[in-house]
């Protein structure tokens, strides 16, 4: 009798261990694997190939890269870079793409010229659209009615959300993902000017304000000074600080005031100079997802709680809007993220935050 009871206990323990293992697997894989690979510096270039493409459209060429796992892939993801001078060659984007290939995804990264030049304009939306349509219809890489993911980083996140709802993509997009993206460009601009978000003050990043000075340069300084001011700020944004300071010395006083405040990171004074544009930008609706229909696909939203380029309140705005589409919406505002970058400072107090972000990536990668 004792032996029978002992055997039953062993069987129950084995079953419990199996159930526990399966539960943990269901909860945390592949998110755990993704996060470990993301934190790791090595891109493991032997595990995927990179093909280059030049997409000809409207007299211009849109360069693009395709990262393909050496082993078979599950799905293709279009991954669009944010506002950065390196475009699709930006180090974090390349690493992101390489990590996704290790999770079994093929990744297509178009180079969007306007976003590379710090211009958030309708032509950037058009270029993302044209590159994605080329991939779907003309590249020969997508079979039949195979669906793809449409993912965007930073300001590209908001643009991809807008495109995912457009008629030509309605039945071709499996999921759309915004990593640190905006829902309404006008409210994001207002935040960068005032620092006010969801009833509180959070000092905006000077990087975002510098982009605004370039955007409004033709309204801030005389016509003949517009291009020199924009060129000076562009060099600053690209990290050419010595050259930017040298160029600023040749600017007239009015223009030099803006560059001085940018160099000094005086966001409050810059905000005062830009304040007349608060609530008066009226950007094209194509630049703000929430001004259109929600996408008819799964929507994933990830944002940093301390993001001071695009405030986390934008995620709440997007989530409310996307939920009206009647499809799965998964969102997370995490203290582990700044602006589209993971803070690598693990601690006991952050274990639950790591659990949440692993759960988010697990759901995203399973439903991509």
103 shares a domain with 158:
yes
57 shares a domain with 204:
no
pLDDT at 348: 56
Average pLDDT of the residues of the chain: 91
Task: Spell out the SS3 assignment of the chain.
Answer: CHHHHHHHHHHHHHHHHHHHHHHHHHHHCCHHHHHHHHHCCCCCHHHEEEEEEEEEECCEEEEEEEEEECCCCCEEEEEECCCCCCHHHCHHHHHHHHHHHHCCEEEEEECCHHHHCCCCCHHHHHHHHHHHHHHHHCCCCCCCCCCEEEEEECHHHHHHHHHHCCHHHCCCEEEEEEECCCCCHHHHHHHHHHCEECCEECCCCHHHHHHHHHHCHHHHCCHHHHHHHHHHHHHHHCCCHHHHHHHHCCCCHHHHHHHHHHHCCCHHHHHHHHHHHCCCCCCCHHHCHHHCCCCCCEEEEEEECCCCCCCCHHHHHHHHHHHCCCCCEEEEEECCECCCCECCCCCHHHHHHHHHHHHHHHHHHHCC
Q: How confident is the model at residue 341 (pLDDT cuts 50, 70, 90)?
A: confident
Q: How confident is the model at residue 343 (pLDDT cuts 50, 70, 90)?
A: confident
> For residue range 140-153, what is the model confidence (pLDDT) as tens digits?
999 988 999 999 99
269 shares a domain with 305:
no
Strands 148-153 and 75-80: parallel
Burial class (CB in 10 A: 0-12, 13-18, 19+), 11: exposed
Strands 173-179 and 105-110: unpaired
Q: Residue range 127-142: average pLDDT?
A: 96
Cβ-Cβ contacts under 8 Å for 241 (sequence gap 6 or more): 235
303 shares a domain with 180:
yes
Q: Residue range 46-61: average pLDDT?
A: 93
- Residue 167 vs residues 159, 173, 272, 339: alpha-carbon distances, Å: 15, 11, 41, 31
C-alpha–C-alpha distance, residues 120 and 107, integer Å: 23
114 shares a domain with 73:
yes
Residue 22 is assigned to a structural domain of this protein = no
Residue 282 is assigned to a structural domain of this protein = no
pLDDT at 346: 56
Q: For residue 247, what are the domain limits?
A: 187-277
pLDDT at 325: 82
Q: Is 12 a residue whose pLDDT tops 50?
A: no
Q: Is 24 a residue whose pLDDT tops 60?
A: no
Q: pTM of the prediction? A: 0.91
77 shares a domain with 210:
no
Q: Is 1 a residue whose pLDDT tops 70?
A: no
Q: How confident is the model at residue 199 (pLDDT cuts 50, 70, 90)?
A: very high
pLDDT at 353: 92
pLDDT at 15: 44
C-alpha–C-alpha distance, residues 273 and 365, integer Å: 44
Strand partners, 5: none
C-alpha–C-alpha distance, residues 287 and 179, integer Å: 16
C-alpha–C-alpha distance, residues 9 and 105, integer Å: 43
- Number of structural domains (the chain) is 2
Q: Residue range 162-186: average pLDDT?
A: 95
Q: How confident is the model at residue 331 (pLDDT cuts 50, 70, 90)?
A: very high
Which one of 243, 277, 311 terminates a domain? 277
Q: Residue range 340-355: average pLDDT?
A: 76
175 shares a domain with 304:
yes
Q: Residue range 3-18: average pLDDT?
A: 51
Q: How confident is the model at residue 19 (pLDDT cuts 50, 70, 90)?
A: very low
167 or 62, greater pLDDT: 62
Contact 77, 96 (CB under 8 A): no
152 shares a domain with 247:
no
pLDDT at 344: 62
Which one of 219, 252, 277 terminates a domain? 277
207 shares a domain with 175:
no
C-alpha–C-alpha distance, residues 165 and 66, integer Å: 24
Residue 325 is assigned to a structural domain of this protein = yes
pLDDT at 27: 58
Q: Residue range 218-239: average pLDDT?
A: 97
C-alpha–C-alpha distance, residues 283 and 345, integer Å: 38
């Amino acid at each position: 009798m004792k032996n029978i009871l002992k055997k039953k206990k062993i069987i129950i323990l084995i079953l419990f261990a199996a159930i526990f293992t399966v539960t943990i697997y269901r909860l945390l894989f592949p998110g755990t694997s993704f996060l470990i690979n993301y934190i790791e510096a090595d891109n493991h270039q032997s595990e995927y190939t990179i093909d280059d493409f030049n997409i000809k459209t409207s007299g211009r060429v849109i360069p693009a890269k395709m990262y393909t796992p050496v082993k078979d892939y599950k799905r293709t993801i279009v991954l669009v870079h944010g506002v950065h001078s390196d475009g699709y060659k930006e180090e974090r984007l390349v690493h992101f793409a390489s990590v996704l290939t290790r999770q079994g995804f093929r990744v297509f990264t178009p180079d969007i010229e306007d976003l590379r030049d710090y211009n958030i304009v309708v032509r950037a939306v058009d270029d993302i659209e044209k590159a994605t349509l080329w991939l779907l219809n003309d590249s020969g890489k997508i079979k039949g009615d195979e669906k793809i993911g449409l993912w965007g980083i930073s300001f590209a996140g908001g643009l991809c959300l807008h495109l995912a709802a457009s008629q030509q993509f309605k039945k071709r997009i499996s999921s759309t993902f915004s990593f640190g993206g905006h829902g309404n460009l006008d409210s994001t601009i207002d935040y960068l000017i005032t620092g006010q978000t969801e009833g509180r003050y959070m000092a905006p990043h000077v990087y975002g304000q510098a982009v605004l000075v370039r955007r409004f340069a033709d309204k801030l300084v005389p016509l003949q000074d517009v291009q020199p001011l924009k060129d000076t700020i562009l060099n600053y944004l690209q990290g050419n600080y010595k050259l930017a300071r040298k160029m600023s010395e040749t600017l007239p006083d009015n223009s030099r005031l803006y560059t001085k405040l940018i160099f000094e990171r005086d966001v409050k004074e810059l905000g005062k100079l830009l304040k007349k544009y608060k609530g008066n930008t009226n950007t094209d609706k194509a630049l703000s997802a929430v001004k259109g229909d929600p996408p008819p696909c799964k929507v994933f939203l990830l944002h940093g709680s301390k993001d001071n380029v695009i405030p986390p309140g934008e995620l709440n705005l997007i989530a409310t809007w996307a939920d009206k589409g009647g499809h799965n919406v998964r969102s997370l505002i995490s203290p582990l993220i700044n602006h589209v970058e993971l803070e690598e400072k693990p601690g006991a107090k952050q274990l639950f935050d790591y659990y949440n972000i692993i759960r988010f990536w697990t759901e995203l990668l399973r439903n991509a």
